[in-house]
Structure 1
């Protein structure tokens, strides 16, 4: 597979950092995602540094989030989390990351996936596809 150009955002959430992709920018075939995420992070790296990618050499800095329009009426966006291995070729979709969950609401508003309210705090209802749970994100906005 040759190089791909895929827009993404590198963002902090709590004590973690992740590459955040819009679902619409990724291949429709989800079987192709793992290769993209591993390459973006620089995994596997037998030395544990991920120097060939955006990963930071530890699990809290080797994460990917995928955000798209909600598939459910009780949420504003869908959020899929992927934990990426550092030294091993591993992409795990079985859990969520609470730290990165805190970044999904602000990301969704900044990227125009959710309308920004005038004069009030931001509120985004997030459907975590890994756990099938709804997360309600509330956060301060400038002039809110």
Structure 2
């Protein structure tokens, strides 16, 4: 689990989370933990999807920058209203996805992973095929 409700409250404050989650009548002026937990679960699941091809899950040590990424993703998923293209919430979500894409490609690492856990998962597409023999200039009798 990359993000928790406590991490969200520390990152964004209780007032913002109330605005994001307490948006249906009767308004309680408290955090709707059902909506917040659903957004958190969606963000955690999305991050697992990005990392599963490169890291053995679940991660034992979660780097703080990954918690930050998860917070921004959960915040995006908690938004129920339309989000404008230039909204800071959307921009930070898109940025988080770009970072996760870099991690999944191996361009960026998590830094806290023990040695050997950052290797790509072995699949049949990781095989290398070598052709033996001399083929100077295309091998057509040159």
Q: Give the TM-score normalised by the residue count of structure 2.
A: 0.26
Identify the structure with the greater strand proportion. 1
Identify the structure with the greater helix proportion. 2
Q: Give the TM-score normalised by the residue count of structure 1.
A: 0.26
